[in-house]
Structure 1
Amino acid sequence: MSVNLHDVANDLEKAIRQSDDYTNLKNLYAAVNADQGSKQLFERFRTMQMELQQKQMMGQEITEEEVQQAQQTVAIVQQDQNIAKLMEAEQRMSMVIGELNKIIMKPLEELYGAAE
């Protein structure tokens, strides 16, 4: 019996969208966007995050000043309850996706042998 993996993947996508973790994440993201202060702070944080990741991917060195600036921004962001809750929900969703990825990759790991 042949299985259409794309159909299974689409079913998984629907299941993720219907999950409590995703619904919670979506609601918390809406709460951040509904509060102008939280929204601006979160956008600043995301922009900084993307800029630093881009520098790393391009092999550029991150300066001490950028590290300090990032640490200050994170400290401010963590004090915003809307953003703090959103980040916790993002972390939970990331863990779920990581677990799903392990399950998906299991046949290949078994085929090639897990790294020992």
Structure 2
Amino acid sequence: MAVNVHDAAYALEKAIRQSDEYTQLQQMYNVVNADPAAKNMFDNFRQIQMNLQQKQMMGQDISEEEVQQAQSTVALVQQNEKIAGLMQAEQRMSQAIGELNQIIMKPLEDLYGKL
């Protein structure tokens, strides 16, 4: 009997949405978005992050100035209690997704061996 992996994936999506990690992330995201100053600071931080990631993916050099700007922005946002809470919730969610990914990839690792 064949198993429909898409059905399992949708069930996993539903479980993620109901998880403590996701619920806490959603709450912290709402807290940041309800505070215009925090939201603006967080949006600016995310834009800087995305710009640097895009440059990396395109193989472009990142200047020392851009690195320093990113570091100072990280330091600034971490001083905001609301954003720091959101970033911690993001980290917990990311860790949970990483653990799920390891479980999902296990059959391929068993088949091919660890790389």
Q: For the superposition of Structure 1 and Structure 2, which TM-score range results when normalised by the shorter chain? A: over 0.9
Question: What count of residue pairs does the alignment treat as equivalent?
Answer: 115
Q: Tell me how far 1:62 sits from its aligned partner.
A: 0.4
Q: Which residue of 2 aligns with 1:111?
A: 111
2:92 is aligned with 1:89? no
When the two chains are superposed, the root-mean-square deviation of aligned CA atoms in Å is 0.6
- Show structure 2 runs of 5+ residues with no match: none
Distance (whole Å) between structure 1 residues aligned to residue 58 and residue 27 of structure 2: 34
Q: Which residue of 1 aligns with 2:41?
A: 41
2:15 is aligned with 1:7? no
Q: Tell me how far 1:114 sits from its aligned partner.
A: 1.5
Q: Which residue of 1 aligns with 2:57?
A: 57
Q: Tell me how far 1:67 sits from its aligned partner.
A: 0.6
Q: Tell me how far 1:2 sits from its aligned partner.
A: 1.3
Q: Tell me how far 1:104 sits from its aligned partner.
A: 0.3
- Show structure 1 runs of 5+ residues with no match: none
State percent identity of aligned pairs: 68
Runs of 4+ in 1 over 4 A off after TM superposition: none
Q: Which residue of 1 aligns with 2:71?
A: 71
Distance (whole Å) between structure 2 residues aligned to residue 101 and residue 16 of structure 1: 13
Q: Which residue of 1 aligns with 2:24?
A: 24
With normalisation by structure 2, the TM-score equals 0.98
3-state secondary structure, aligned to 1:59: coil
Distance (whole Å) between structure 1 residues aligned to residue 113 and residue 27 of structure 2: 41
Distance (whole Å) between structure 1 residues aligned to residue 65 and residue 113 of structure 2: 44
Q: Tell me how far 1:17 sits from its aligned partner.
A: 0.2
Distance (whole Å) between structure 1 residues aligned to residue 114 and residue 28 of structure 2: 38
Cα deviations by residue, 1:4-37 (Å, 9 ceiling, x for unpaired): 0000000000000001110010010000000011
Q: Which residue of 1 aligns with 2:101?
A: 101
3-state secondary structure, aligned to 1:114: coil
Q: Tell me how far 1:91 sits from its aligned partner.
A: 0.4
